[in-house]
Structure formats: structure tokens, C-alpha cells
């Protein structure tokens, strides 16, 4: 069982008189990840607050602030129980990538696979010829789609340097590809773009990593902030319920019980943890703190009792 604490603080040089914010800070709940507790604290307390679910099944919170304020603090605390995911699937028994690509072709008026939405370009993941060529190097004729995706993940991890503060949210993907460095968000976008340029479907996953690993294991890259990884569509693959294989190119691994899924979408823009529109404020500062820890067995038993 993992406990996640995600705190965001904005400080404003001048009063903010009005603000509208959208938060994706409540972890997903399904058969492999059970959300046991969640609380969201906002200061100043918003007079208007709405919890709902978006079109991808993610929990989101919308809130408004009409009182003048010079600081905004949003604190999310969650406890989740994780089950092992896709680490033991037989990638060689997944369908050929060409067959999956054909399955995802869209013909007007014909029946189509809903996953086709994630085979299309999106605002943060444009079509780039260079990434088509890069991605296809992992998908030779007849390659099982999961095997090709695993190879692509390893290549992205090997070819690109994880470099904190080397990019920001507005850095174009073409620039990230050219400089061969970025952060977890960039690694995810690069891999998604390469998969989509091959005609395959891929989703962006936002979430968290275990901050302090078990004894004898190295800390994962990106564990000091919110994290991002990829799901690639591998339908009809034995041992893969739902047909979506999760891959973490930043750390070159298949996510398991150290990854907490927060939300999923086409790219970062669909699932930004916290964003908003404000009136006033002037220059601002931003401080984000994330801590993910494993609860002791005794703590977990007390919570479940």
C-alpha cells in the first residue's frame, strides 16, 4: 500500500481577484489499483467546487475563487493498494503490429475500434517524420506489437538523457528529439509520437513513483515529482486485461507496484495535475512537492480494519 502527498503552492506578487482551476489529483480506481482514501485541501477554501469524471474516466475537480488572495495552496493526500500488473505477459504472443495497425484504420461509416482516438496526433504530440523513422526501427515485418513496444521503450531510455529543467511544458517535441534530453513528460511524448507515427495507439499516463525504494533497489528517475509514462494498445494479448500495456521509458521498465496511476489521456494537456485561469496576480512563484511512501504492514492493517 502506498501513500501519496502532492502539494502545490502558488505565490502572487499582487492579489488574484478571480480564479478558475481544474485539478486531476485523485488516483484512478480499478481492479489493479484500489483507491482507499483521498482528501483534497484547498486554501483559500473555494466557495464553488465540483467533482466529476471526464470522458476518459478520470476523476477531476473544478473550483472557483472569487475572494482576493496572494497565495494558493492545494494539498492532495491519497492511499492506494496496488496489484501486480503486466510484468509477466508473454510479449511474443501479442498480435503482429501490422495487424494492430490495420485494426486501427478509420473508415468513415464503418465500425471502428475506440482505441483509434489514441492513434491520432494531439496538441502535445504532433506528427513528426523523424519520429516515424525512429519508431519503425523497432517494428520489423511480423514483429509482435508488445515486443516492438518494449524494444522502443529501451531505445528511448538509452538514446535520451533524463535532465531536470532541460525543458518546460511548452518545449516543442521536435526540439526535445533534436537535443536528445528531457524529463519524464518528454520521454512519454516521444514514445507516444513514435508509436502513433507507426499507426499504433498510445495513451499518456500521469501519476507517481515510490519516492524511497525498497532496500537494495535504486531510486527511480522522476520520483521527486509527478511522473508520466505510456500505455500502448496490444489487443488480444494473453495476460493483458483490457489490452493496454504500460511502459515507463524514463526508467526502462514495465510499471508495477511502485507506480500510482493518476489519470490518462492523449497527452499532458488532457491530464495536467493543476491548471487555471486567473485575473490579477502579476508575477508568481510555483512550488510543487510530491512524496510517495510505502506504508508499513501494521499501518496498512489498521487502515483496512
CATH number of the domain bearing residue 107? 3.10.620.30
Q: What pLDDT is recorded for position 6?
A: 96
Q: SS3 of 282, please? A: coil
Assess whether pLDDT exceeds 70 at residue 224: no
Assess whether pLDDT exceeds 90 at residue 152: yes
Q: Cβ of 101: how many Cβ atoms within 10 Å?
A: 16
Residue 19 pairs with which residues in a beta bridge? Answer: 65, 278
Q: What pLDDT is recorded for position 87?
A: 58
**Number of domain units in the chain:** 2
The Cα 42–Cα 51 span in angstroms is 14
> Cα–Cα–Cα angle for 204, 240, 226, nearest 5°?
30
Assess whether pLDDT exceeds 70 at residue 113: yes
Q: What pLDDT is recorded for position 191?
A: 98
**Mean pLDDT for the stretch of residues 86-102:** 88
Buried b (16+ CB within 10 A) or exposed e, 34-50: ebbebebebeeebeeee
Among the residue ranges 9-13, 110-114, 115-119, 215-219, the one predicted with the least confidence is 215-219
* 260 occurs within a structural domain: yes
Q: What pLDDT is recorded for position 31?
A: 85
CATH number reported for the structural domain that contains residue 23 in this entry: 2.60.40.2250
More confident call, 18 vs 110: 18
213 pLDDT band, cuts 50/70/90, is low
Among the residue ranges 53-67, 98-112, 191-205, the one predicted with the least confidence is 98-112
* 305 occurs within a structural domain: no
Q: Determine whether 133 is exposed, middle or buried from the number of CB atoms within 10 Å of its CB (0-12, 13-18, 19+).
A: exposed
* 198 occurs within a structural domain: yes
Range of the domain at 202: 91-270
Q: What pLDDT is recorded for position 107?
A: 79
Assess whether pLDDT exceeds 90 at residue 259: yes
Shared domain for 59 and 161, answered yes or no, is no
Shared domain for 51 and 99, answered yes or no, is no
Per the prediction, the chain carries an average pLDDT of 91
Assess whether pLDDT exceeds 60 at residue 304: no
Q: How far is CA 249 from CA 49, 101, 123, 182, 206, in A?
A: 36, 22, 21, 12, 13
Shared domain for 47 and 95, answered yes or no, is no
Shared domain for 9 and 40, answered yes or no, is yes
Spell out the residues 6+ positions from residue 43 whose beta carbon is closer than 8 angstroms to its own: 71, 72, 73
β-pairing verdict for 202-209 and 181-182: unpaired
Q: What pLDDT is recorded for position 205?
A: 98
The Cα 36–Cα 305 span in angstroms is 12
Assess whether pLDDT exceeds 90 at residue 300: no
Q: What percent of the chain has pLDDT over 90?
A: 79
Shared domain for 162 and 137, answered yes or no, is yes
Shared domain for 243 and 176, answered yes or no, is yes
Most distant pair of Cα atoms in the chain: their distance: 61
Q: Which tens digits make up the pLDDT trace of 169-188?
A: 899 999 999 999 999 999 99
Amino acid at each position: 500500500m502506498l501513500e501519496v502527498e502532492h502539494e502545490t503552492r502558488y505565490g502572487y506578487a499582487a492579489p488574484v481577484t478571480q480564479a478558475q482551476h481544474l485539478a486531476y489529483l485523485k488516483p484512478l480506481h480499478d481492479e489493479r489499483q484500489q483507491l482507499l482514501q483521498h482528501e483534497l485541501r484547498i486554501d483559500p477554501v473555494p466557495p464553488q467546487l465540483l467533482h466529476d469524471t471526464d470522458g476518459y474516466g478520470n476523476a477531476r475537480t473544478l473550483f472557483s475563487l472569487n475572494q482576493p488572495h496572494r497565495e494558493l495552496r492545494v494539498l492532495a493526500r491519497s492511499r492506494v493498494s496496488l496489484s501486480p500488473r503486466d510484468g509477466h505477459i508473454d510479449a511474443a504472443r501479442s498480435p503482429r503490429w501490422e495487424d494492430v495497425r490495420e485494426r486501427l484504420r478509420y473508415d468513415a461509416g464503418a465500425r471502428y475500434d475506440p482505441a483509434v482516438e489514441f492513434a491520432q496526433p494531439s496538441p502535445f504530440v504532433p506528427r513528426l517524420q523523424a519520429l516515424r523513422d525512429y519508431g519503425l526501427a523497432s517494428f520489423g515485418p511480423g514483429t509482435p506489437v508488445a515486443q516492438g513496444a518494449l524494444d522502443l521503450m529501451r531505445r528511448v531510455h538509452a538514446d535520451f538523457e533524463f535532465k531536470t529543467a532541460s525543458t518546460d511544458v511548452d518545449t516543442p517535441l521536435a526540439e526535445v528529439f533534436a537535443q536528445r534530453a528531457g524529463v519524464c513528460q518528454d520521454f512519454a511524448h516521444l514514445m507516444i509520437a513514435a508509436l502513433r507515427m507507426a499507426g499504433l495507439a498510445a495513451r499518456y499516463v500521469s501519476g507517481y513513483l515510490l519516492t524511497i525504494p525498497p532496500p537494495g533497489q535504486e531510486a527511480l528517475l522522476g520520483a521527486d515529482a509527478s511522473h508520466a509514462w505510456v500505455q500502448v494498445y496490444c489487443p488480444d494479448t494473453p495476460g493483458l486485461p483490457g489490452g493496454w500495456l504500460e511502459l515507463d521509458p524514463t526508467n526502462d521498465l514495465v510499471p508495477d507496484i511502485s507506480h500510482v496511476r493518476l489519470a490518462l489521456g492523449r497527452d499532458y494537456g488532457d491530464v495536467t495535475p493543476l491548471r487555471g485561469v486567473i485575473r490579477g496576480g502579476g508575477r508568481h512563484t510555483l512550488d510543487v512537492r510530491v512524496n510517495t511512501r510505502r506504508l508499513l504492514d501494521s499501518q496498512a492493517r489498521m487502515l483496512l480494519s
